[in-house]
C-alpha cells in the first residue's frame, strides 16, 4: 500500500481535495476533533501521514512515505534526496526579500555589508546573498518573520509572500523575488522504482485532474 505524506496547515484542504479527486479520501484529517496522524483511505488503497510542511521531504527521504506533497520552497531550502515528479499547481507563493517601506535600501544589493536578515529559509537566504557576494548575518526564525525589521532586529527579511497582505499590514515592501513556489509531488527514489506500477497509476490520475 502506498503511503503519502501530506502537509498540515493552510495547504491541507487543497491537498485533501486533490486526493479526493483521484478517489482517495483522507478528509478525516480536516475534522477539528481528529488527532490521528496516520489514516488509511476507506477503500484500503493508500495511507496518509499528516506532517508539518517542512517535514514532508524528511518522511519521503527516509522512505516512511513513498510519496509526499511538498512545497518547492521547502525543497529548495532542505535539498532532500527525493524525486520531484509533478507540479500540483496549488500553494502558489514566492520567496522574496522585503524591507520596511521607510528603508533607504530599495534593492538587496544596496543593503550594508554584515547587516542582518531574518528568515525561516536560512539556506535560501544565505545562497542568495552569497551569489550577490554580499556578506550578511541570517537570523533564523520559525514564524512572524516580519517582526525582524519592525522591531529593529534586522534590516530585511527573506520570507514567503502569497497575497502580500502580511507585508502591507506591517509596512514592508518586496524588493526582490528569489523564486516562485507551488506544491510538488515528490517520491522516494528507490520506492519509485520498486512500486513503479502503483506510482505511475497515481501520477496519471493526478495529471488527469490537474
Determine if 159 is a binding residue for ligand PRP (CB under 6 A).
yes
Determine if 118 is a binding residue for ligand PRP (CB under 6 A).
no
Backbone phi, psi, residue 169, to 5°: -70, -10
Which of 11, 15, 145, 183 touches ligand PRP by CB under 6 A? 145
Q: CA 58 to CA 52: how far, in whole Å?
A: 10
Can you read off the three cell numbers belonging to residue 41? 483511505
Determine if 151 is a binding residue for ligand PRP (CB under 6 A).
no
What count of other Cβ atoms lies within 10 Å of the Cβ of residue 147?
15
Determine if 166 is a binding residue for ligand PRP (CB under 6 A).
yes
* Interface segment toward ligand PRP; rule CB under 6 A; list 58-66, 108-116, 132-140, 153-161: 153-161
Restricting to residues 50-109, which ones interact with ligand PRP according to CB under 6 A? none
Q: Compute the chain's Rg from CA coordinates.
A: 19
Q: CA 45 to CA 113: how far, in whole Å?
A: 55
* Interface segment toward ligand PRP; rule CB under 6 A; list 69-77, 95-103, 141-149, 188-196: 141-149
Question: Which residues does residue 84 pair with via DSSP β-bridges, in sequence order?
Answer: 186
Cβ proximity of 91 and 68 under 8 Å: no
Question: In angstroms, what is the minimal distance from the CB of 113 to ligand PRP?
Answer: 26
- For ligand PRP, the binding residues (CB under 6 A) are 143-146, 159-166
Amino acid at each position: 500500500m502506498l503511503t503519502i505524506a501530506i502537509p498540515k496547515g493552510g495547504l491541507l484542504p487543497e491537498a485533501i481535495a486533490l486526493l479526493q479527486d483521484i478517489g482517495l479520501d483522507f478528509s478525516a484529517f480536516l475534522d477539528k476533533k481528529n488527532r490521528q496522524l496516520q489514516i488509511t483511505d476507506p477503500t484500503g488503497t493508500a495511507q496518509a501521514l499528516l506532517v508539518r510542511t517542512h517535514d514532508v521531504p524528511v518522511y519521503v527521504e527516509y522512505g516512511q512515505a513513498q510519496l509526499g506533497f511538498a512545497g518547492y520552497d521547502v525543497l529548495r531550502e532542505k535539498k532532500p534526496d527525493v524525486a520531484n515528479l509533478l507540479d500540483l499547481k496549488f500553494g502558489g507563493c514566492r520567496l522574496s526579500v522585503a524591507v520596511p517601506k521607510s528603508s533607504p535600501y530599495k534593492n538587496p544589493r544596496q543593503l550594508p555589508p554584515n547587516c542582518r536578515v531574518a528568515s525561516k529559509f536560512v539556506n535560501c537566504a544565505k545562497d542568495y546573498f552569497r551569489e550577490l557576494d554580499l556578506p550578511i548575518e541570517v537570523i533564523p526564525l520559525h514564524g512572524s518573520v516580519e517582526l525582524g525589521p519592525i522591531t529593529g532586529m534586522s534590516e530585511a527579511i527573506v520570507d514567503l509572500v502569497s497575497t502580500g497582505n502580511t507585508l502591507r499590514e506591517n509596512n514592508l515592501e518586496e524588493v526582490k523575488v528569489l523564486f516562485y513556489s507551488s506544491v510538488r509531488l515528490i517520491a522516494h527514489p528507490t520506492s519509485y522504482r520498486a512500486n513503479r506500477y502503483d506510482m505511475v497509476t497515481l501520477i496519471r490520475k493526478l495529471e488527469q485532474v490537474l
